[in-house]
Structure formats: C-alpha cells, structure tokens
Structure 1
Amino acid sequence: MKTEYLHSSLFLVSLLLIPLSYVSSAPPDPNAFLQCLARNNVSDEDTKAIVFSPHNPMFTSVLNSLAKNLRFQTPETPKPVVIVTPKIDSHVQSTIACAKEMKIQLKTRSGGHDYDGRSYTSNETFLILDMFNMKRIDVFPETETAVVEAGATLGEVYYNIWNKSKIHAFPAVDKMDPDLFIRLLLQPGDKTVKVTLLGEFLGDCNRLVGIMNQEIPQVGFKNTDCMQSTWIKSKLWWANFDNNTAPEALLVLFN
C-alpha cells in the first residue's frame, strides 16, 4: 500500500497598513494659464485686457458683476483660477484649448441670468469664460432673423429689434401658441395658494381671449384682463419701468 503524504505549507502574512493621506493638488498658477494663452497665439496686450486673476484689483467686481444670487458672493464661495473676458472668437478658442490642456473645468457665463450660480461657481478647480464683451446683435427684418452673440442681454436684444423694426418682436419662449408667453406666480397662504398668470402675447386682445379660453378655459379670461401696448413698451413693463420710460433703459438692464 502506497502511502502518500499530503504536505501543507504554513505561512504567516504580515500586513503593514499605512494610512494614506489624500492631499489635493494646489490650484494651478494663473501665470501658467497666461503662458498657455501665449502659446495659443493670444498677444500680451490682449491678455492684459481680457484676463483677470485673483491678484487683479478688478477681479472681484468682474466676478460679481453678473452674480445674481448674494449667496454666491461670500468669501467662502469657491473662486475661479482666472476670469477670461474674450473679445473675438480666437480668444474663446484659445481659452478652451488651455482649459483642456491644464485640466481645468470651464464655466461659461453669457448675458442671461443664473440664479443657481452654475456659471460662476464650482467645487472643482475652474475658470470662467465670461462672454459679456461679445454682444454684437445684427437684426435682419427682411428675413425676420437675428444673429446675437452670447454676451448680449435680453434687454439689448429687445432694444435692437425695436430699433430696426417697429412691427417685429421676439416672444422669448414658445408655450402653447408660439406668440404667447405665460409666467406662473404662486403666493402661498395659510391653507391656500394664490395663482396669478402673467403673460405676453404678440397680437391683439380679441385673439388672445380666444386662445386662452381654448387652452385654459378654467381661468375664464376676458378682454378686461388684457392691456394692449407696443411690444417695446411691454418689455419695459416686465422690467418694472413706468410707461414714460425710454427704450434706452433696456440697454443697462441686466437679465
């Protein structure tokens, strides 16, 4: 009878546990970003005019100029590495290229409103591409089109349309009828909620009454609920200006 021996190997494993500390990398040096812009054909003169680092005295005022929510204007709010305010297309292209090269999150801020701070705050290392210098508006009434750069505010768009044509308008959104814009205002009470409909219609009151009673018959909309004015005057009304305000007031109105 053949006996086989089963050999078992005994071993002792010692585990050396070394605590790891996760150290976040230091934020990129703004100078490194400037050097990247230079490599991407942005001149020193342009860089001085369009780039704002935290050391620039204008940095905070530029950062807060379109910050609509005061909650994001505190010392604790994360700040961008730099703010770039491009004036031409190539500035935008170079900024995107450098953000990608340096692995920095890019936040783009245009002429619109942003109450949530998504265009100028982040928990990651980021820079802001602020488009406020690029706000050219070309209106072509003959083709009923317009070309608007990203930095333009709605007030500037409205004014330029009115300045080119007194019979054209821009409805802003297309809910239900494409000429109708409605905003819902909710006012809570003790046990009830008051609902107010504020709206704008590119047409006369008679046509509006028909549309409202077809789409929302529960409201019981009547001609007396409607006030007719010129389109540009309606923009001033939305901005809480009185009836005697000149349209030029829209040019200094932020959205």
Structure 2
Amino acid sequence: MSSPVSPYLLALLSVILFSTSSYATPPISNITHESILQCLLHHSVPHNLIYTKSTTSYTSLLQSSIQNQRFDTPTTPKPFLIVSPTLESHVQSTVKCSHYHGLQIRVRSGGHDYEGLSYVSHDPPFIVLDLHSLSSISIDTSHSTSWVQAGATIGELYYRIAEKNKTAGFPAGLCPTLGIGGHLSGGGFGTMVRMYGLAADHIIDARLVNADGEILDRESMGEDFFWAIRGGGAASFGVILAYKIKLVYVPPKVTVFTKSTNLSHGAKTLTSKWQQIAYKLDDRLFIRAVIQVASDEKPCRTIQVGFESLFLGEKEELLALMGKSFPELGLKAEDCQEMSWIQSVPYFAGYKNGESPNILLDRKPQFNISFKAKSDFLTERITELGWERIWQEMLRGEEQAMLIVDPYGGRMDEIPESETPFPHRKGSLYNIQYLVGLGEGGAKEMKKHLDWVRSFYQFMTPYVSKNPRAAYLNYRDLDLGSDRVGSTTYTKAKVWGRRYFKSNFERLAVVKGKVDPGNFFRNEQSVPPLFPA
C-alpha cells in the first residue's frame, strides 16, 4: 500500500469546492496523484479503496478480472488510478472528481469486455472504477424479483436465486464470471433465450450514477434513459449501480445433452438439418452448434460439430420431440442427463463432470488466454454447399478456430426491435461468434492469427446479415470502427452503431444528448450525443 497522503495535502481539502452539475476542468497537464487523491478523500472515499501504480496491490487488482490476456501486456495503457468502491457514494465521488479533473472513467464489473474497454483506454489519463465489491444480491421470493448490484457475477446471481427458489431462474449468459453491470446493459442471452428472451428484457428498475454524480432510478431517470441502459451499453450513459430484475420459472428437472460428430460421420448433413429447425423448435428447446477444427496435426485435421442442448423439461419428452423434429441426430436416452436448472449452469460453462454449483461462486477469470472474437447474425439459412466451403476455409489455415452458433426464434420473434436498444429479434435466425486464440509467440504470431480471423470474417460476408451487417454489442469488436480521440460525430459513429443497434442507434444518440451532452461517459465505441434540430 502506498504511503498516506501528507498532512499538508489533507489541509488543502477544505478549499476543494465544486458544483455537482458544472465543472471547471483543470488542464490535463496539471493532474497529479495528489490532486485527485485530495478530491476523492474530501468526498469520503477511504484511502484504502484508492490504488495508484505505487500501491502494492495495484497490479493484482488490475489483473484480477482480466478475461483476455491480449490486454494484459507491458505496453497496454494502465489506469492513472483504480477506485474500488464499497458504497454507492464512493461511485458518486469518483464520477464528480473525475469530471472535475478531466479524467475518463472506465467501469469494470466482470472484465469480460472483448476489447478490454472496461479497463483500458487509448486516450489517457483514465481511472478504472472496479465494482467487484458492490456485489450484493437480494432475492424477493414473494414477487419473483431480485435487486442485484453491478459488481456481482452471473454465476453468483444464479446460485443465490436457486438457493432461495428451486423453480426460479434468470435468462442470461453462460460464463459464470460475467459481471452483471456490463452483461445486462448490452442485452445478455443464454440457453433460455428462446423461451424467455434476453436478460435485458427482464430488467424492471435500475440505480445509476449520471454524469452529474446523481443517483437515479427508473422513475427519476425517465423512460427514455431507462430504455437506453437495457441493451444500449450503459457505459455510454452512466455507472450502473444495480438492476432490479424479474425472475422466470424453471421446471424442477431440465435435460441436457452434448452430441458431437465430424465430417467423416455426417457433420454436413446434420448441420444442415439442425440449421433448418433449431430456430423454430419448441420454445423450451435450445440446441446450439459449436464448430471447431479438431486436431493439431494438419493431415488429420477435421471439423467437429458439437450440438449442445438445454430442454426445460424431462428426458422422455425431449426424446419424443427430437424423434419427431431431428431424428437424424440419433439421440438416445443414454446421451441425456436430467438435472436441476442450477446444475445445468456449470454444465454449459464447460464443467461437464458433475461439478457442484458452488463453482459458480468462484470469481477467478474463467479464461487465461489471448483471443480475438467477432460476431454475425444469420437471417437466411446457409446451404450445405455453403457449409462445405466454410469448413474448407477453416481447414485451410493452421488456426484452432471456433464458431459458436446460437439459435434465436421463439420469444425473440415476439418482441419488437424497438422494445429495447437490442434490435436482433424477428428475422435473426442465429447469432454466430467467431473465436480464435492468439497464441503466446509474440507480436508476429499474434498478427498472423488476427489476420486470419479478419480474413475469415470477410469470407463469411455472403452468408450473413446485410444492410447493415449486424453485430452483438457484448461481443465488442473494434474492427468495426472506433474513436480514439473522444470527438466522434454521430455520422462517423453510425459505422459501428448501426451494426450493433440498427435503427435504434439514432434514438440512443438522442438520449445521450439529453443525459450526457458533454460526452463525459465515452470510450472507443460509445454512443455520441446527438442534438436534433
């Protein structure tokens, strides 16, 4: 821990006065650790919650939830300070002091941002507001609701729900270490997306710190602001403190299976049939396809397709449904496992050996690799010939690439595109996520892998959505365009904004112009303010 602030500096605290609604920002060159520390201490942020680069635990805290090692290198820009609030008032004080001193804020709850924007800025100096200690979860079983703070993880939320009610759940993502604040604000989908839609569709209230350091809830922020933070990426609008969510019903028993095949065992035919039906099956049935290169040895390389499924019901009914809709898969009783919904959560997080749900409380990063991800949406089915060409392209290189293809349909078809900022509803049959590891061989090897995934993304152009070619905000991709000087216009930002939000982007920018006209909350791909004539 760094040494305490000197008595001389503390004596200066009494003269640091500024309005919570307007700021006379000092020049960036005048910012010092001492001046920002003075401000934070004056506004009741304890010294032991403030980490500078000279603080012993600065590095360990910074690295504690980094999920992509690509953004944990000696050359990665580091925050000027890290503040780890334990009270909502600490968040308010950090916003006020950062605003006054002209410092950017990056807000981190789980650290899953694919481009590291929750803890990296290319426009320093900046502060990281690490919310991991704001992680309380309150379950109201009588009303099937929960208040969950932004720093809690999805795994913790799932565990606490099941602890209170065995037939309640929540339709969010698969990775247990996802932070609530970022995941829900970008949409959030998982294995119950066809039955219940997105996590954001079940947000019924929120608490947020705005650019003036005020705490707002749904009533005080207004419906336009509340609309924006349920799928529009809250980092453009404020700091989410907590969400109130509506829980959903899950049956006492669910059924899961994973059944894999490869090119020599009919993968092409099975994938083609799966693609024809997966988005229009019984809403309780979710079957995703995980497609990857299966061997390190080039002569033996093949494509493996794994079909992973959650059925919100018992095995016997699932087998009957599959026999009618997808008999080609040859699903048998021994392929299926019945379990509680909470037991299925570790299963889809990659823990296939019956691990206890207690593992959901482990906040350590689930990944320890450097990777690049991109995303697409399918609005038309890919032909068998198309899949054959895709797999040939995957096998042509040396990459251990993975495509995760998630079916939509069901409840997603019933919600209008404008209901929340997340627009990928009716007509979006599947979401595709492309993942490739970047290796550990230095800059040259990383460039090779990055070039490959970008080339493959271009190769996929004929098969995916168009006008715009859509992408999912929670699979953030700076290749789509970025702003590194903090002055992006609405016209320039449309390059990436329409990909994430389609026609909802203009409404988001208008909301931004009303609630943060000075563009205090910004990042390389944030929503800029728009001021209609």
Category of TM-score, reference length = shorter chain: 0.7 to 0.9
- Aligned pairs (5 A) from 1:81-100: 81-100=80-99
Out of 338, 353, 356, the residue aligned to residue 246 of structure 1 is 356
1:34 to partner: Cα distance: 1.1
Rounded Cα–Cα distance in structure 2 between residues aligned with 1:211 and 1:128: 49
Rounded Cα–Cα distance in structure 1 between residues aligned with 2:135 and 2:87: 11
Residues 248 and 188 of structure 1: is their aligned pair in 2 closer, same or farther, counting only changes over 3 Å? closer
Partner residue, 2:291 = 186
How many residues are treated as equivalent by the alignment? 227
Rounded Cα–Cα distance in structure 2 between residues aligned with 1:193 and 1:229: 30
Q: Secondary structure at the match of 1:128?
A: strand
Unaligned runs of 5+ residues in structure 2 are 1-26, 173-188, 197-283, 367-533
Partner residue, 2:74 = 75
- The letter for the 2-side match of 1:29 is T
Partner residue, 1:7 = none
Cα deviation per residue 1:180-202 (whole Å; 9 max; x = unaligned)? 65554221478975443323343
Rounded Cα–Cα distance in structure 1 between residues aligned with 2:287 and 2:143: 27
Q: Secondary structure at the match of 1:250?
A: helix
Partner residue, 1:34 = 37
- Aligned pairs (5 A) from 1:1-16: none
Q: Secondary structure at the match of 2:338?
A: coil
Cα deviation per residue 1:184-226 (whole Å; 9 max; x = unaligned)? 4221478975443323343334665687799x86975856454
Partner residue, 2:139 = 139
Partner residue, 2:307 = 197
CA contact (8 A) 1:137 1:157 kept: yes
Residues 68 and 219 of structure 1: is their aligned pair in 2 closer, same or farther, counting only changes over 3 Å? farther
1:239 to partner: Cα distance: 3.6
Rounded Cα–Cα distance in structure 1 between residues aligned with 2:31 and 2:85: 20
Rounded Cα–Cα distance in structure 1 between residues aligned with 2:318 and 2:109: 33
1:96 to partner: Cα distance: 0.9
Residues 180 and 124 of structure 1: is their aligned pair in 2 closer, same or farther, counting only changes over 3 Å? farther
Larger helix proportion, structure 1 or 2?
2
Rounded Cα–Cα distance in structure 2 between residues aligned with 1:101 and 1:212: 60
CA contact (8 A) 1:175 1:182 kept: no
Tell me the TM-score normalised to structure 1 length: 0.75
Q: Secondary structure at the match of 2:337?
A: coil
Residues 35 and 139 of structure 1: is their aligned pair in 2 closer, same or farther, counting only changes over 3 Å? same
Residues 204 and 34 of structure 1: is their aligned pair in 2 closer, same or farther, counting only changes over 3 Å? same
Rounded Cα–Cα distance in structure 1 between residues aligned with 2:195 and 2:328: 17
CA contact (8 A) 1:108 1:129 kept: yes
Cα deviation per residue 1:55-84 (whole Å; 9 max; x = unaligned)? 101000000000111221111110000001
Residues 72 and 218 of structure 1: is their aligned pair in 2 closer, same or farther, counting only changes over 3 Å? farther
Q: Secondary structure at the match of 1:111?
A: coil
Cα deviation per residue 1:11-35 (whole Å; 9 max; x = unaligned)? xxxxxxxxxxxxx965832221111
Larger Rg: 1
1:252 to partner: Cα distance: 1.4
Tell me the TM-score normalised to structure 2 length: 0.38
Alignment partner of 1:175 is 2:285: no
Rounded Cα–Cα distance in structure 2 between residues aligned with 1:70 and 1:238: 23
Cα deviation per residue 1:29-55 (whole Å; 9 max; x = unaligned)? 22211112234x21xxx4222110111
1:167 to partner: Cα distance: 1.6
Q: Secondary structure at the match of 1:177?
A: helix
Alignment partner of 1:232 is 2:342: yes
Rounded Cα–Cα distance in structure 1 between residues aligned with 2:119 and 2:73: 13
Residues 180 and 89 of structure 1: is their aligned pair in 2 closer, same or farther, counting only changes over 3 Å? farther
Unaligned runs of 5+ residues in structure 1 are 1-23
Identity of aligned residues (%): 36
Partner residue, 2:471 = none
Q: Secondary structure at the match of 1:227?
A: strand
Rounded Cα–Cα distance in structure 1 between residues aligned with 2:102 and 2:289: 41
Alignment partner of 1:119 is 2:224: no
Residues 28 and 210 of structure 1: is their aligned pair in 2 closer, same or farther, counting only changes over 3 Å? farther
CA contact (8 A) 2:347 2:354 kept: no
Residues 112 and 83 of structure 1: is their aligned pair in 2 closer, same or farther, counting only changes over 3 Å? closer
The answer to which of 242-251 and 217-226 deviates more is: 217-226
Partner residue, 1:163 = 163
Cα deviation per residue 1:114-152 (whole Å; 9 max; x = unaligned)? 332111111111110100000000112221111110111
Residues 96 and 244 of structure 1: is their aligned pair in 2 closer, same or farther, counting only changes over 3 Å? same
Rounded Cα–Cα distance in structure 1 between residues aligned with 2:122 and 2:62: 16
Rounded Cα–Cα distance in structure 2 between residues aligned with 1:182 and 1:56: 48
1:102 to partner: Cα distance: 1.4
1:106 to partner: Cα distance: 0.8
Rounded Cα–Cα distance in structure 1 between residues aligned with 2:119 and 2:155: 21
